[in-house]
């Protein structure tokens, strides 16, 4: 699905700002048809933001079920005869949308966009009432999965098997967009590097019309190649490549034919990605991933996208010498990928399939969650498949995205895991044959894993010295090295350690380096680095985590997860300086 754009044929109006908002703990809204009039007892809620922490009440923070958003929207008078859609960049996790009294769309999956066509209902020049109900419940059939318990007093309690807070709501931008009736629905671009030259393969999907021309321009606007068909290959002699640290972008301008022609411009980075033996090649050059698993997480706004926080995070990535990150554990806002494209930051793009693991479920939630492979069924798998397809559909054209991660830490030891994942890996490759596919593997000995051979790169989340051999970095170093060498022996594939780290409370120091201190965090990272430097097949290190982040309640979490090398408000812990010395060896 293409991002909304302003072009000669397209307009967009941002619907961000303060909306009317109501929690619906008693499930009254759907029964009473709240979309038919003003929301009862509404408060004001900023969009985009996760709703949970804005009102400063426990009720909002812990709410489980529906929340309602509403605002008035004027359709510009000049939009007569145009196709008009509402575009939600995300609604976590399930949404239904009404324009006045008419339902115009619904979507499940909290991190991918959807559109509602209101052409037939919205009259140019008139004001309409836009109402959205967003349900934040996670169930065994959703991605990510969860369980909702009804307590004896009638309250609901959400359990989930992932280690970050279940922020929800309209936490990304909402748009009102106009296009011609005949319009460009989608563009797919893949690029191939051949010596100094390159090929740009493109496919344009037009609704009710035809492609007139496709023009590839360089950053200075100069035309580099041209086509006149809906699909084809553009030859680009002496191409300037997109590469890590250099986000060079061309523009692919697509125009349709006819009086009411559409026009769309897609940024294109020319690069290719391959796995060869135990190397990860970008434009034929071995690439070493230095960076983090991140989260979209900030005080008050939760997962609400915000350009200030985004640019600041990228500035800190630059300061520390990171060249890449993983969108753990869900697709991030499209603004983030566009920024990474422009600045040459490499991204491993992950689906929201996190928590498909019984052992972890056990440690994260009170009570006794059901065995995960018993609770997870074809419906979960279908939701997971949709999550993969929607991720690829949204992000396939970003040069920064070099690999798909289709899950984080599923239980990959049981035979059911292989049966469940095999078709999903096939589907990911079918959706995008141009990028490698991986999953982030939970701490599990290589001989116990039943599915890593299906994937291109071995991605390991490892907590030696923290969850395992806590406090004993000598054993951690020995065991980690032995394990990595075993992965090399069994698979001969490139290895990225996609998570390693220790919780550290900022300001807690110790000469004896006890757990939870800033000093132990550094020692643990340095222990891992010594091992990485000895094992040749390790082609990447992503520290867990970039910054401290909010989690659900838990006795092993102190006001959230503290494995950040920055605090939640982005102040560096001592580990940030240590990483900077490793990743920027020439600077202080």
Catalytic positions, written as ranges = 409, 499
Query: For ligand GCB, which is the closer residue by CB, 33 or 363?
Result: 363
Reported as half-sphere exposure (CB side, CA atoms, 13 A), residue 296 has a value of 31
SS3 call for 172: coil
Reported as half-sphere exposure (CB side, CA atoms, 13 A), residue 366 has a value of 7
SS3 call for 130: strand
Q: How far is the CB of 361 from ligand GCB (least distance, A)?
A: 12
Tokens in use for 442?
């939970």
Q: How far is the CB of 515 from ligand GCB (least distance, A)?
A: 13
Query: For ligand GCB, which is the closer residue by CB, 48 or 352?
Result: 352
Reported as half-sphere exposure (CB side, CA atoms, 13 A), residue 41 has a value of 7
From 298, 408, 441, 452, residue interacting with ligand GCB (rule: CB under 6 A): 408
| Binding-site string for ligand GCB from residue 27 to residue 66, where x marks contact by CB under 6 A and - marks none | ----------------------------------------
From 82, 290, 563, 573, residue interacting with ligand GCB (rule: CB under 6 A): 563
* SS3 readout for 39-54: CCCCEEEEECCCCCCC
Number of residues in contact with ligand GCB under rule CB under 6 A: 9
Non-local (6+) Cβ contacts of 220 within 8 A are none
What are the DSSP E strand ranges found in 442-567? 458-461, 495-499, 538-544
Contact 364, 164 (CB under 8 A): no
Query: For ligand GCB, which is the closer residue by CB, 287 or 500?
Result: 500
| Opening angle at CA 161, ends 448 and 110, nearest 5 | 120
Contact 206, 230 (CB under 8 A): yes
Of 554, 475, 53, 542, residue with least CA distance to 297: 53
Query: For ligand GCB, which is the closer residue by CB, 187 or 365?
Result: 365
Tokens in use for 343?
């600045």
* Residue of closest CB approach to ligand GCB: 163
Contact between 175 and ligand GCB per CB under 6 A: no
Query: For ligand GCB, which is the closer residue by CB, 142 or 441?
Result: 441
Q: How far is the CB of 359 from ligand GCB (least distance, A)?
A: 11
Considering only residues 498 to 517 of the shown chain, the ones binding ligand GCB according to CB under 6 A are 499
Q: How far is the CB of 355 from ligand GCB (least distance, A)?
A: 9
From 561, 565, 568, 580, residue interacting with ligand GCB (rule: CB under 6 A): 561
Contact 97, 49 (CB under 8 A): no
- What is the Cα 148 distance to its own chain's centre? 24
Query: For ligand GCB, which is the closer residue by CB, 163 or 481?
Result: 163
Query: For ligand GCB, which is the closer residue by CB, 397 or 551?
Result: 551
SS3 call for 453: helix
Q: How far is the CB of 471 from ligand GCB (least distance, A)?
A: 16
Spatial distance between the Cα atoms of 174 and 490, rounded to a whole number of angstroms: 48
From 135, 409, 456, 481, residue interacting with ligand GCB (rule: CB under 6 A): 409
Tokens in use for 314?
């990228």
Contact between 544 and ligand GCB per CB under 6 A: yes
Q: How far is the CB of 456 from ligand GCB (least distance, A)?
A: 20
Query: For ligand GCB, which is the closer residue by CB, 191 or 561?
Result: 561
| Binding-site string for ligand GCB from residue 430 to residue 469, where x marks contact by CB under 6 A and - marks none | -------------------------------x--------
Considering only residues 308 to 367 of the shown chain, the ones binding ligand GCB according to CB under 6 A are 329
What are the DSSP E strand ranges found in 208-299? 211-217, 223-227, 231-236, 250-256, 263-268, 273-276, 279-282, 285-286, 289-293
- What is the Cα 315 distance to its own chain's centre? 19
Contact between 573 and ligand GCB per CB under 6 A: no
Spatial distance between the Cα atoms of 550 and 287, rounded to a whole number of angstroms: 32
Considering only residues 144 to 173 of the shown chain, the ones binding ligand GCB according to CB under 6 A are 163
Query: For ligand GCB, which is the closer residue by CB, 112 or 551?
Result: 551
Tokens in use for 408?
């984080």
DSSP state of 452: G
Q: How far is the CB of 537 from ligand GCB (least distance, A)?
A: 21
Tokens in use for 473?
């970095």
Q: How far is the CB of 363 from ligand GCB (least distance, A)?
A: 9
Q: How far is the CB of 552 from ligand GCB (least distance, A)?
A: 11
Q: Tell me which residues touch ligand GCB (CB under 6 A).
A: 163, 329, 408-409, 461, 499, 544, 561, 563
């Amino acid at each position: 699905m293409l991002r909304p754009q302003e072009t000669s044929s397209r307009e967009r109006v941002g619907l961000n700002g303060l909306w009317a908002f109501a929690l619906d703990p008693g499930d009254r809204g759907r029964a009473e048809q709240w979309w038919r009039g003003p929301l009862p007892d509404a408060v004001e809620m900023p969009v985009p933001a996760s709703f949970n922490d804005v009102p400063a009440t426990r009720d909002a923070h812990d709410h489980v079920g529906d929340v309602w958003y509403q605002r008035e929207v004027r359709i510009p008078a000049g939009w007569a005869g145009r196709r008009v859609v509402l575009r939600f960049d995300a609604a976590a996790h399930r949404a239904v949308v009404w324009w006045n009294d008419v339902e115009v769309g619904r979507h499940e999956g909290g991190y991918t966009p959807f559109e509602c066509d209101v052409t037939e209902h919205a009259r140019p020049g008139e004001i309409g009432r836009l109402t959205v109900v967003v349900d934040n419940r996670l169930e065994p059939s959703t991605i990510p999965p969860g369980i909702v318990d009804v307590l004896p007093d009638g309250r609901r309690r959400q359990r989930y098997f992932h280690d970050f807070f279940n922020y929800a709501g309209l936490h990304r931008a909402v748009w009102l967009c106009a296009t011609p009736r005949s319009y460009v629905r989608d563009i797919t671009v893949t690029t191939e590097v051949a010596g100094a030259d390159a090929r740009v393969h493109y496919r344009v999907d037009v609704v009710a019309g035809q492609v007139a021309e496709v023009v590839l321009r360089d950053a200075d606007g100069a035309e580099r190649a041209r086509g006149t068909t809906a699909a084809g290959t553009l030859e680009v002699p002496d191409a300037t490549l997109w590469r890590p640290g250099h986000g060079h972008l061309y523009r692919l301008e697509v125009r349709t034919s006819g009086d009411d022609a559409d026009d769309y411009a897609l940024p294109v980075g020319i690069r290719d990605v391959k796995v060869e033996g135990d190397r990860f090649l970008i434009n034929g050059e071995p690439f070493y991933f230095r960076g983090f698993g991140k989260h979209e997480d900030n005080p008050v706004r939760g997962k609400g996208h915000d350009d200030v926080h985004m640019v600041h995070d990228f500035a800190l990535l630059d300061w520390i010498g990171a060249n890449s990150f993983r969108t753990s554990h869900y697709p991030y806002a499209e603004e983030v990928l566009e920024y990474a494209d422009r600045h040459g930051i490499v991204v491993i793009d992950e689906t929201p399939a996190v928590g498909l693991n019984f052992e972890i479920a056990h440690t994260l939630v009170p009570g006794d969650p059901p065995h995960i492979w018993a609770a997870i069924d074809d419906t979960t798998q279908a939701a997971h498949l949709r999550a993969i397809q929607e991720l690829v559909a949204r992000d396939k054209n970003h040069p920064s995205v070099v690999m798909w991660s289709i899950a984080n830490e599923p239980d990959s030891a049981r035979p059911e895991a292989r049966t469940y994942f095999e078709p999903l890996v096939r589907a990911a490759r079918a959706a995008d044959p141009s990028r490698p596919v991986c999953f982030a593997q939970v701490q599990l000995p290589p001989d116990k894993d039943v599915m890593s051979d299906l994937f291109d790169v071995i991605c390991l989340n490892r907590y030696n010295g923290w969850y395992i051999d806590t406090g004993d970095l000598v054993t951690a170093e020995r065991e980690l090295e032995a394990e990595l060498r075993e992965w090399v022996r069994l698979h001969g594939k490139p290895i990225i350690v996609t998570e390693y780290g220790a919780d550290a409370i900022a300001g807690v120091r110790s000469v004896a380096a006890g757990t939870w201190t800033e000093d132990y965090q550094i020692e643990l990272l340095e222990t891992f680095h010594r091992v990485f430097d000895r094992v040749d097949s390790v082609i990447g290190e992503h520290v867990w985590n970039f910054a401290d982040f909010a989690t659900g309640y838990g006795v092993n979490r102190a006001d959230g997860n503290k494995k950040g090398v920055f605090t939640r408000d982005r102040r560096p812990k001592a580990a940030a300086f240590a990483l900077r010395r490793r990743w920027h060896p020439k600077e202080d």
